[in-house]
Amino acid sequence: MSPRRSEREIWSRVLSMVLLGSLCYGLPWQVFAAPADASAVLRIQGSNTVGAKLAPMLVSGFFEAQGLKDVRVSDGPVANEQRIEALDAQGQRLHATVAAHGTGTGFAALADGSTDLAAASRPIKPKEQQALVGLGDLTSAAAEQVIAIDGLAIVVHPDNPLGALDTRAVARLFAGEVTNWRELGGADMPVRIHARDDRSGTYDTFNELVLGAHGKALTASARRYESNDELAAAVGRDRGAIGFVGLASIGSVKALGIVDGESQPMAPDLTTVATEDYPLSRRLFLYAAPNDQSPWTRAFIDFVHSKAGQQIVGQSGYVAQSVEAVRTQPQDGMPAFYRQLASDARRLTVNFRFDEGSAQLDNKALRDIARVAEYLHAQKRSIGSAALVGFGDPKSDPSRAALLSKLRAMTVRRELVKHGVYVRDINGLGSELPVASNEGSGGRVKNRRVEIWIY
């Protein structure tokens, strides 16, 4: 057994006792000292979307929550790397590192042991999961942590008169098949493509949800960027530009409304992204080896999921996993039952989602159950105030989609009961009201959902 592993096991026992006291008595908890070898207490590597701003902010907030002092963030030895330092109670300086070179680099770093957490702006791929099987199941709830929701915004120069595009038109633009904006009803000016680099999870997500979904490939003439902010800044300087960035990097450029399949045009705003109804919404992740997490890693994960951690997520420009009740405008195209629901009740800003052909809640949904229950208890609406509405994708059997949509709502009801919440009624609307195209797997995942409303 290595000295590093032995030290981690000792810390694990100590922290477990402290955390137990925190859970039982509401006491503050903290990791009290720096490691003896002065190595980083926490290492995060991977997605630029996560690592450029969000991860350093979360680490800083985590250090402060531990009672550490003099927290500082500084640039690392190379671009897109940062070091977060602080002083512990004994006056010893400790630090964490964040390297943001693309989602794929995070999983590679997990494989060679050079990181504690892989930051990702997409789910782990099967081949990556297989390469890391020695670390445990990277898709398990202990390994996969959804830390924030992001919207992949399609951005243009503020002077571009277009307000919305469907995903097919976006795919044709980025494939180089549309070369002048007038072909889409815009101004007479050439189109110039700006895109993230191949190592980016942002690019992987765009490639899957837009290009791949329509059988297209990115044009070789696209200008490529390692940073979302750098790409957005370039689009802001070019009237003919179009690009894609994470929600936090929109800044002063213009985000287009997006139509996917039979969905209505949706802009990436807080509500549509929080519910993941926005067609290009996505989850941001941290992955850790489920069977070998240091006490610092586990404590950091707990902090990220806490109210304080999610507040930092919101401050960073991403969408926090918090629960709010919002009004939804009834529309003529809605089924009569749903239109009445929109008139009488408010929708919570969380959707529960499921694997294909399954009524099993995913990892995010399991945590969202607890968040929703806490919200309903605080609002004194835990008994008879909530309604669940399940949805599915039609595939080849619409009647099966209707059945599964009801079963999914029943699954959510069962989990809420475990938290002392008793819903008013449940309904299954099958494949009605899609929020994304059913032609690709990504769209079908979005359509397999359960909404929760309160009266």
Number of C-beta neighbours around residue 83 at 10 A:
18
Which stretch, 152-166, 257-271, 342-356, 426-440, has highest mean pLDDT?
A: 152-166
Class of CATH domain 323-454: alpha beta
Q: Do domains 3-146+283-315 and 153-259 have the same CATH topology?
A: yes
101-110, 169-178, 441-450: least confident range: 441-450
Report which of residues 201 and 42 the model is more confident about: 42
Q: Provide the residue ranges of all domains of the chain, joining segments of one domain with +.
A: 3-146+283-315, 153-259, 323-454
Dist. CA 40–CA 107, nearest whole Å: 19
Dist. CA 77–CA 65, nearest whole Å: 27
> CATH number for the 3-146+283-315 domain, one of 3.40.190.10, 3.40.50.10680, 3.40.50.300, 3.20.20.70?
3.40.190.10
Mean pLDDT of the chain: 88
Is the pTM higher than 0.75? yes
Q: How confident is the model at residue 269 (pLDDT cuts 50, 70, 90)?
A: confident
Percent of the chain predicted with pLDDT > 90: 70
What tens digit of pLDDT does each residue of 176-190 get?
999 999 999 999 999
Give, rounded to a whole angstrom, the gap between the first and last alpha carbons of the chain.
Answer: 57
CATH number of 153-259: 3.40.190.10
User: Does residue 436 carry a pLDDT above 80?
Assistant: no
Residue type, 49: T
How confident is the model at residue 17, as a pLDDT? 38
List C-alpha distances in Å: 318 to 84, 184, 271, 286. 21, 30, 12, 15
Q: What is the mean pLDDT of residues 64-73?
A: 96
How confident is the model at residue 129, as a pLDDT? 96
What tens digit of pLDDT does each residue of 191-226 get?
999 999 998 888 988 998 899 989 999 999 999 999
User: Does residue 455 carry a pLDDT above 70?
Assistant: yes
Look up residue 252 and give its two tokens. 């002063």
